Amino acid sequence: MTTQLENYYLSKPEPYQSCLLALRHIILSVDPAIVHERKFQIPFFTYKGKKLGYLWLNRKKLMLGFCTDKSLLETPAGAKPKDRYESFQVNPEEDLPVELIIGKLKGYLNRINESL
Q: How far is the C-alpha of 46 from the C-alpha of 38, rounded, in Å?
A: 10
Instruction: Work out the pLDDT band at 73, boundaries 50, 70, 90.
Output: very low
User: Is residue 80 pLDDT above 70, yes or no?
Assistant: no
Q: How far is CA 94 from the centre of its chain?
A: 19
pLDDT tens profile 3-50:
889 999 999 999 999 999 999 999 999 999 999 999 888 999 999 988
pLDDT tens profile 84-101:
678 889 999 999 999 999
Strand partners, 18: none
What pLDDT was estimated at residue 78? 56
For residues 48-70, give the mean pLDDT: 86
Total number of domains constituting the chain: 1
For 1-70, where are the alpha helices, taking DSSP H only?
4-10, 16-30
Q: For residue 67, which phi and psi values (nearest 5 degrees)?
A: -130, 135
Q: What is the pTM assigned to this prediction?
A: 0.85
Q: How far is the C-alpha of 67 from the C-alpha of 86, rounded, in Å?
A: 6
What CATH number does residue 60 fall under? 3.90.1150.200
Instruction: For residue 8, give its domain range.
Output: 4-115
User: Is residue 1 pLDDT above 50, yes or no?
Assistant: yes
Average pLDDT value for the chain: 86
The C-alpha angle with vertex 36 and arms to 65 and 17, in degrees rounded to 5, equals 65
Q: How far is the C-alpha of 40 from the C-alpha of 18, rounded, in Å?
A: 21
Amino acid in position 106: K
